Amino acid sequence: MTFDYDLFVIGGGSGGVRAARVAAQGGAKVALAEEDRYGGTCVIRGCVPKKLMVFASEYSGMVEDAQAYGWDIQPSAFDWGAFRGKLDAELDRLENVYRGILKNNGVETFDQRAKLADAHTVELADGTRMTAKHILLAMGGRPVMPGIPGDEHGITSNDIFHLEKLPESILIVGGGYIASEFAGILNGLGVKVTQYYRGAQILRGFDDEARGLVSEEMCQRGIDLHLGTNVLEMRKEGDKIWVKATNGDERVFDHVMFATGRAPNTENMGLEEIGVEIGRKGEVIVDDYSQTAVPSVYAVGDVTDRVNLTPVAIREGMAFVETVFNGNPTKPDHELIPTAIFTQPEMGTVGLSEEDAREQEPIEIYATSFKPMQQSFAGRSERVLMKLVVSQKTRKVLGCHIVAPGAGEMIQLAGIAVKMGATKEDFDRTVAVHPTMSEEIVTMKTPTRTA
């Protein structure tokens, strides 16, 4: 049987574009359909614009610090319009880079929605049907609203980048990556930020000590964080939003942003109709090689709800090409993925939290929390945390958790050692880089506690 294409990719985000490019470079005839902007969540409405906003928001504190260091400068107002104009231009540039990658590698693109008609047939929104030997689902995910009365008046992280003007006040609902990162960003930009999280501590799943410090520092910096609190109901009052909380508070905000999780984009895709298995949260069920229940259909990235991070989607896309086009069955490796949460302060983490590790085996904890030199000199009281979770038996470092400015940069490098299986003694043998914050990671001599 002959097909129009060797590979048809649905979705032009990180995972889809990488798989399309690498397959095409290897000689495959590849097509890709994208209904929105090329680059996907990460480039257009996630990691990239978010990180640029983190940078923008950090300058407010830097002016104060510079004054403390003797600079005669005064802070002036943040010009959201000017920043947004530059941000939009940067995202246009990046989208063109993504389009260029596909074009230059001979990938044919269709700027419209695509769904599956059968195991080898894709149907575009305009009704065109095309066949492919393999189909890769890479549609990503989208923010979901919690289903609270009045939540239609709320916005999501998708909308934040398009606000006409910065609000004076905002309520952020949720305690995950997105909620906590945007709380810091908007606070830094001068917005009065309130955050409601229904659980006992934000950033559930991460090391307790690390999330505790992030939460404490966020409050120190002026975020009005309410734990064990959720929105009960809300309604529009003029151009503001009235919110009643589960703790009885009634307040009015300019905006309410929900960061209450994301759902895979699998609706109305013709998936179940052709036998692709869908899980409880709407995710495409795949095996270790990213293959779905229909052998010609594979899926990578957030649509599979495995580890929802861009570099993981990229790895999954590469492993898919290796498996299907290079005859070399390759499982994407989901073990010991280093990651950063761009809260203020930042958290970098790899491996097991203290809580998860002690469920598995006897451990030693090495942890130190201190005021870093640069901030301390400027009169700030903020603390950083360097922490290692070590196996008593193998001496391997099972987890490394850093809360500090630049923790994302640090954990990338510590992640190599942990991935290599470094022991505590390997860390100890490494000479400290002085004076830095991260030198503490190789100078902690005695365990803080054992468990």
Of the candidate spans 11-19, 88-96, 335-343, 409-417, the one that interacts with ligand NDP by CB under 6 A turns out to be 335-343
Number of chain positions touching ligand NDP (CB under 6 A): 24
Cβ atoms within 10 Å of 169's Cβ, excluding its own: 18
**Binding of ligand NDP at residue 174 (CB under 6 A)?**
yes
Cβ atoms within 10 Å of 394's Cβ, excluding its own: 12
User: Binders of ligand NDP among 364-393, rule CB under 6 A?
Assistant: none
Q: What's the closest the beta carbon of residue 306 comes to ligand NDP, in angstroms?
A: 10
Q: What's the closest the beta carbon of residue 252 comes to ligand NDP, in angstroms?
A: 20
Residue 434 a catalytic site member: yes
User: Binders of ligand NDP among 129-158, rule CB under 6 A?
Assistant: 146
Catalytic residue among 134, 162, 255, 434: 434
* Shorter beta-carbon distance to ligand NDP: residue 121 or 339: 339
Distance CA 404, CA 346 (A): 6
Among 187, 260, 304, 323, binds ligand NDP (CB under 6 A): 260
Residue-wise burial string across 127-153, b where 16 or more C-beta atoms lie within 10 A, e elsewhere: eeebbbbbbbbbbbbebeeeebebbee
Structure-block tokens of residue 341: 């949460």
Distance CA 347, CA 385 (A): 9
Residue 441: CA atoms inside 13 Å, Cβ hemisphere, count? 32
Alpha-helical (H) ranges within 26-79 are: 40-45, 47-68
**Binding of ligand NDP at residue 340 (CB under 6 A)?**
yes
Q: What's the closest the beta carbon of residue 31 comes to ligand NDP, in angstroms?
A: 28
Nearest to 58 by CA among 162, 190, 193, 202: 190
Which residues partner with 169 through β-bridges? 192
Among 5, 38, 110, 177, binds ligand NDP (CB under 6 A): 177
**Binding of ligand NDP at residue 311 (CB under 6 A)?**
no
Q: What's the closest the beta carbon of residue 40 comes to ligand NDP, in angstroms?
A: 12
* Shorter beta-carbon distance to ligand NDP: residue 146 or 190: 146
Helix, strand, coil % in the chain, rounded to nearest 5 = 35, 25, 40
Q: What's the closest the beta carbon of residue 233 comes to ligand NDP, in angstroms?
A: 13
Q: Closest residue to ligand NDP, Cβ-based?
A: 176
Among 44, 135, 178, 183, binds ligand NDP (CB under 6 A): 178
Among 169, 339, 353, 375, binds ligand NDP (CB under 6 A): 339
Integer CA distances (angstroms), 422 to 238, 256, 361, in order? 59, 45, 17
Q: What's the closest the beta carbon of residue 117 comes to ligand NDP, in angstroms?
A: 31
**Binding of ligand NDP at residue 22 (CB under 6 A)?**
no
Structure-block tokens of residue 437: 């914050």
Of the candidate spans 62-70, 127-135, 169-177, 411-419, the one that interacts with ligand NDP by CB under 6 A turns out to be 169-177
Among 113, 142, 153, 198, binds ligand NDP (CB under 6 A): 198
Among 75, 106, 176, 406, binds ligand NDP (CB under 6 A): 176
Nearest to 101 by CA among 28, 41, 16: 16
Binding mask 261-280 toward ligand NDP (x if CB under 6 A, else -) reads xx------------------
In degrees and rounded to multiples of 5, residue 195 shows phi and psi of: -125, 130
> Which residue spans within 212-346 are E strands per DSSP?
224-227, 231-237, 240-245, 250-253, 255-258, 262-264, 297-299, 339-341
Of the candidate spans 81-89, 95-103, 176-184, 431-439, the one that interacts with ligand NDP by CB under 6 A turns out to be 176-184
Q: What's the closest the beta carbon of residue 82 comes to ligand NDP, in angstroms?
A: 25
Residue-wise burial string across 30-57, b where 16 or more C-beta atoms lie within 10 A, e elsewhere: bbbbbbebbbbbbbbbbbbbbebbbebb
Among 42, 102, 179, 442, binds ligand NDP (CB under 6 A): 179
DSSP 11: -
Q: What's the closest the beta carbon of residue 184 comes to ligand NDP, in angstroms?
A: 12
**Binding of ligand NDP at residue 175 (CB under 6 A)?**
yes
Residue tagged 């005859």 (tokens): 327
User: Binders of ligand NDP among 202-221, rule CB under 6 A?
Assistant: 204
SS3 79: coil
Among 8, 98, 342, 427, binds ligand NDP (CB under 6 A): 342
Distance CA 54, CA 184 (A): 8
**Binding of ligand NDP at residue 75 (CB under 6 A)?**
no
SS3 341: strand
* Shorter beta-carbon distance to ligand NDP: residue 208 or 439: 208
Residue 155 contacts residue 178 (beta carbons within 8 Å): no
Binding mask 230-259 toward ligand NDP (x if CB under 6 A, else -) reads x----------------------------x
Binding site for ligand NDP (CB under 6 A): 146, 173-179, 181, 197-199, 204, 230, 259-262, 308-309, 339-342
Please identify every residue annotated as catalytic.
Answer: 434
